[in-house]
Amino acid sequence: MPSPTSRPQSNLLYATAFAGAVMAVFAVGYRMAGWSWSDAIYMVIITAFSVGFGEVVPITDPWLRAWTMALIVLGCTGIIFITGTLVQWLTESQIQRALGGKRMEHEIEKLKNHAIICGYGRIGKMIATQLEAGGIPFVIVDQSPERVAEAREAGWLTHLGEATDEPVLRAAGVTRARVLATVLPNDAANVFITLSARNMNPEIQIIARGEVPSTERKLRQAGANRVVLPAHIGADRIAHLILHPNARDLLGGKTKSSVEFEHHLTELGLDMEEIEIGSQSPWLHRRVGDVEKEVSGRLLVVAILRKEGGTDMNPNPTAMLMPGDALVVMKRGVGKA
């Protein structure tokens, strides 16, 4: 479907082409009448734009006078056409922008129990995509006109403004929202937004981004329910893949279901770990059932990665552990109860 400004733009293009063609044809006509190119072009310009100067060369030939009258009619028509379409283009663009902004404000005013995303950077875009897939209504708040325009082109509700300003948060519906995610790369701004949102809506759930671990305490004191440290999470993920490369592979790759499963494990204080059975391991030549009984339920054996290849999923309690095997176990995470 063409954009609202496509018709005025097309008209402006046609008008410019028409006026240009008229000027070129009549300039050639004057040149054929014996005028110089300089005089011919000058005559066409001052006539088409209705400047009102005198004739460049006295015109006595009836045919040349008729030619000039035709230039007056067609040239002035072309310039009027250009001016009209240019005004139409600019006016319609302003009207569409104003109506679009008003319509979006009305849509935001109707929202309730929605989410607010403060910051439309890389993390903000990923959050918006996930929320849209989950069917959760949300509003994006960002101070960059370019990023707001990009979000609007994606069909998302947006509000242009600095999220640290309370009127901006109020316009985004913070008093009616269910959750607010402030994911700006500036820790000080995230703390201020968290504090403002908590004061404006004591019941709202606030998820805040932090760049450095020391900011977590400040964000929680400001009222954040959850604090996410992307750099820390990324580093932890990479380290875990290095230390336990096979444990996560059992989840079937980075699919949506595996991500949800990992999230639930974390919420329960559980983690998956890979334990290699070396030649000095106390579990060497032991049965899986005996190992689980020995640790008194502190871990659960999920699979055995055999040295010769193959994986025993949900192994039998009588399965024997051999040198070079690796256990994939589920255990309580570090620091969890």
Q: Which tens digits make up the pLDDT trace of 131-143?
A: 998 899 999 999 9
State residue 108's pLDDT score: 87
User: Is the distance from CB of 261 to CB of 330 less than 8 angstroms?
Assistant: no
Residue at 250 is within a domain: no
| Domain shared by 218 and 293, yes or no | no
Domain boundary, last residue among 60, 84, 106: 106
In the predicted structure, residue 243 carries a pLDDT above the cut 90: no
| Domain shared by 119 and 219, yes or no | yes
Percent of the chain with pLDDT over 90: 28
In the predicted structure, residue 317 carries a pLDDT above the cut 70: yes
Q: What total of structural domains would you count in the chain? A: 3
Beta bridge partners of 139: 116, 157
Domain boundary, last residue among 106, 128, 150: 106
Quickly state the pLDDT bin for 334 (edges 50, 70, 90).
very low
pTM: 0.52
CA neighbor of 181 nearest in space, from 134, 125, 233, 236: 125
CA neighbor of 319 nearest in space, from 309, 305, 298, 330: 305
Helix or strand or coil: residue 273? Answer: strand
Q: Which bin fits 113, alpha (ψ -120 to 50), beta or left (φ > 0)?
A: left
Percent of the chain with pLDDT over 70: 80
Residue 147 domain boundaries: 111-232
Q: What is the pLDDT of residues 96-115, one digit of tens each?
A: 555 555 677 888 888 899 99
Helix or strand or coil: residue 194? Answer: helix
Residue at 90 is within a domain: yes
In the predicted structure, residue 162 carries a pLDDT above the cut 80: yes
| Domain shared by 141 and 95, yes or no | no
Beta bridge partners of 53: none
Residue at 64 is within a domain: yes
In the predicted structure, residue 171 carries a pLDDT above the cut 50: yes
Give the pLDDT mean for 9-14. Answer: 79
In the predicted structure, residue 262 carries a pLDDT above the cut 60: no
Helix or strand or coil: residue 204? Answer: coil
Quickly state the pLDDT bin for 90 (edges 50, 70, 90).
confident
| Domain shared by 137 and 101, yes or no | no
- Candidate ranges 174-178, 230-234, 248-252, 276-280; pick with highest mean pLDDT: 174-178
Domain boundary, last residue among 232, 253, 285: 232
Residue at 246 is within a domain: no
| Domain shared by 159 and 133, yes or no | yes
Selected residue with higher pLDDT from 308 and 195:
195
CA neighbor of 291 nearest in space, from 323, 318, 270: 318
Q: Are strands 205-209 and 226-228 parallel, antiparallel or unpaired?
A: parallel
State residue 310's pLDDT score: 76
